């Protein structure tokens, strides 16, 4: 399932090469061509990132109420006392292959503090708080990895520009940066996307406005970009969601992103794209209901036999 430079990964990363031959005429065709060419220039890479999430008091209250309601139905989900979180990530990619490791820096307690998930182009492997897994489904592997929490920072919206249709609303200056204002309509959401030609056609700002009653307003904004060789990548960004109730905003949930380190178009060893399981780990998959153990299976009965005390020799 190898694709040429993988539009999925290139769109998911968003780091791109600046072209000296950027489109002179700001129109839909030239903008789409420039975005696609710059995305295709990034073949491989890896980096380290930090993501922090601070929910509004309203969101925290609603979340705890929903968890309590589910617990009354027998569905348990543990929530930390402090719902703020800070995660550090490692992301590597080479065409359709990728690796995504997560380590929770705050809070330390609770499940989900550490995970390693990889896709080698045809098979996913991973370690999460639920154990090890093997999967032949990339979408399921992405879900295990929770890559979606970094979609905005990794420029996942670029696939909508490359593969979809959009309207060009003109050039606008944002924080001293000249941008092309694009408008994408997706089902019940209108997305205004401002891309910066001077930063490799990366997204400077994106505003997602849902139809009434169909979601919440979300605004993503890059405060600073950084150039790594010929490649631009967002350095610091924020994403703010505005939860509503009865048409009134109830606060603001903020997510902060930061690039610690990034390396573009470098060789990535093949072993990176497969997670190594520790001995004794129970592995689930790839078929539903299938379980195995690394190093051979030890049954419950065998384990109990190993733990029996020694018999006293009275001879």
C-alpha distances out from residue 86 to 89, 127, 165, 311, Å:
10, 20, 35, 52
Closest CA to 49 of 226, 261, 225, 266: 261
| pLDDT (0 to 100) of residue 294 | 83
Q: Read off the pTM.
A: 0.83
**Residue 16 pLDDT exceeds 60:** no
CA angle 59, 64, 67 (to 5 degrees): 125
| pLDDT (0 to 100) of residue 111 | 58
Q: How far apart, in whole angstroms, are the C-alpha atoms of residue 208 and residue 46?
A: 28
Q: What is the mean pLDDT of the chain?
A: 86
Q: For residue range 63-88, what is the model confidence (pLDDT) as tens digits?
A: 888 888 877 766 666 677 788 999 99
Least confident of 146-150, 233-237, 294-298: 294-298
Q: How far apart, in whole angstroms, are the C-alpha atoms of residue 297 and residue 291?
A: 10
Q: Specify the higher pLDDT residue, 247 or 301.
A: 301
Those residues with Cβ within 8 angstroms of residue 266's Cβ, 6 or more apart along the chain or in another chain:
44, 45, 46
Domain residue ranges in the chain: 7-165+226-231+258-294
DSSP 178: E
Find the farthest-apart pair of alpha carbons in the chain and give their distance in angstroms, rounded.
99
Least confident of 112-116, 237-241, 286-290: 112-116
Q: How far apart, in whole angstroms, are the C-alpha atoms of residue 42 and residue 98?
A: 14
């Amino acid at each position: 399932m190898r694709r040429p430079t993988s539009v999925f990964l290139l769109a998911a990363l968003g780091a791109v090469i600046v072209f000296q031959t950027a489109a002179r005429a700001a129109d839909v065709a030239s903008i789409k061509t420039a975005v696609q060419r710059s995305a295709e220039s990034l073949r491989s890479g890896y980096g380290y990132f930090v993501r922090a999430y601070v929910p509004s008091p309203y969101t925290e209250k609603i979340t705890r109420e929903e968890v309590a309601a589910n617990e009354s139905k027998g569905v348990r989900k543990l929530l930390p006392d402090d719902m703020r979180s800070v995660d550090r990530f490692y992301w590597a990619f080479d065409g359709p292959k990728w690796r995504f490791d997560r380590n929770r820096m705050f809070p330390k307690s609770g499940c989900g503090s550490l995970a390693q998930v990889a896709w080698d182009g045809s098979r996913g492997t991973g370690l999460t708080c639920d154990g090890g897994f093997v999967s032949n489904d990339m979408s399921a592997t992405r879900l295990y990895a929770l890559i979606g929490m970094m979609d905005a920072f990794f420029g996942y919206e670029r696939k909508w520009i490359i593969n979809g249709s959009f309207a060009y609303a003109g050039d606008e200056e944002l924080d001293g940066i000249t941008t092309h204002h694009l408008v994408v309509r997706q089902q019940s959401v209108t997305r205004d996307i401002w891309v910066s030609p001077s930063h490799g056609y990366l997204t400077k700002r994106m505003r997602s406005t849902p139809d009434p009653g169909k979601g919440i307003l979300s605004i993503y904004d890059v405060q600073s970009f950084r150039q790594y060789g010929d490649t631009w990548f967002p350095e610091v960004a924020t994403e703010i969601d505005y939860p509503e109730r009865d048409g009134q905003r109830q606060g603001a949930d903020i997510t902060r992103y930061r690039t610690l380190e990034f390396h573009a178009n470098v060789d990535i060893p093949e072993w990176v794209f497969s997670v190594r399981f520790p001995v004794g780990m129970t592995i689930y998959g790839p078929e539903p209901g299938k379980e195995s153990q690394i190093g051979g299976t030890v049954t419950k009965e065998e384990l109990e036999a190993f733990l029996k005390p020694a018999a006293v020799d009275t001879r």
